[in-house]
Amino acid sequence: MEYRLRSFYFIRLDALNFKPSRSQRKVIYRWSRFIMYGNVPESDRMLSEDESQEAATVPGCLAPTLHALEHRPNRPRKAHKFEVFLESPSYTAEKYQLYEAYQAQVHGDTLNLPYLFYRFLVESPLLVGNPLSAQDHSEPTPPASSQTAAIPYPAPAPAHLPRQYGSYHQLYRLDGRLIGMSVLDILPGSVSSVYFVYDRRWVKYSLGKLSIMYEAALVQEMHQAGLPNMEHLHLGLFRSINLFPSAAYNRTLFRSEGFYIHSNPKMKYKGEYSPTYLLDPEELSWHPVPECLPLLEQYRYACFSHPEHSLAGPDDPGELPISTPSDESLEEIRFAKLTDGEAEVIPIKSSEAWADAIFLRPTFAATIQDLGVELAKELVFH
């Protein structure tokens, strides 16, 4: 990491102490007005006193405010029907179309395939069974698995909360249409926001910011349901690196949204939520973002626990050709093969992924090169 890549850091939000800023509260207010009244000028229709209280965020208690935006049969009719729910990860044409349009419009990435969407946002080493209690949504879900641990709520939890740890899609629907999707990993002690895509027609409502507040609220609700260790939202913890070989890009497209990269303007929004912390790359200790910023501004590689270890120099030293590890090394680098919900660890050279010389073998070869062979031997790839 010190030489080959942009320096990246895991980042997490202390969700229990999260206090939305004024601009973040305005995101909730604008979306609330749209859901209640439709697309009308603000001067034509203002929230009543009760409704404005509903749209105002109480520090540490996001859930009631956000759930008030959602459709419920027993609530007064709103101009639009807004729904948010969790489901097991799955591939559907609707999800892929949303993702494909988002990648092209936001990131200029037109090299997409359903297969890569599945690898990036559906396939996961975290196996999910029946995620929720008695909820029936129209989207297909994968078969149940006995491998996922049940979440140990001490008492019956609200029906919309997950019942098992694992990977999920959190869907945002407006009048039945899919307008946003978060990919989440729900773990003991934290929720990891892996990725978020949305319909650009709603860009003025800042759905990305709204989704982070929904995810922080999920952490708060699970904590309040009796999970004292559920405290943090990772923005987001990268589940799988997806590299796509492309001559047009000279080597690869590298999806790095799972980390905080200070030199990437698209990443800096993650530091706008408070309190957020960065993981020190050497001591693996968490440090408040404001304390890290001076080092990040000065160095391309910043060590927060030992500032004297920080490195100056160009952020990106340039591309290096991909080299394939020796056969002996490939025998010692491990890969998790999943078959019918069962995991088997095998040498990576024996995996179907390594046999895919067009897409996946360059992915893993580049990752092993970036990590170094000795470190790669300590990991299990998937």
Question: How would you write the pLDDT of the chain (382 residues) with one tens digit per residue?
Answer: 444 445 778 889 999 999 899 999 999 999 999 999 998 665 545 554 444 444 444 555 789 999 999 988 777 788 999 999 999 999 999 999 999 999 999 888 888 889 889 988 998 877 555 444 334 333 434 433 435 689 999 999 999 999 999 999 999 999 999 999 999 999 999 999 999 999 999 999 999 999 999 999 999 999 999 999 999 999 865 554 333 333 333 333 333 334 666 656 666 667 788 899 999 999 999 999 999 999 998 998 899 999 999 988 766 556 667 888 899 999 999 999 888 767 889 999 999 889 988 878 888 998 898 888 999 999 998 8
Q: Tokens standing for 189?
A: 């002690």
**How distant, in Å, are the alpha carbons of 2, 126, 280 from that of 260?**
15, 23, 12
The pair of structure tokens assigned to 337 is 């093969």
Contacts of the segment 243-248: beta carbons below 8 A, 24+ positions apart:
243/362, 243/363, 243/366, 243/367, 244/111, 244/116, 244/359, 244/363, 245/358, 245/359, 245/362, 245/363, 246/111, 248/111
Structure tokens at 267: 């990443």
What's the whole-model pTM score? 0.77
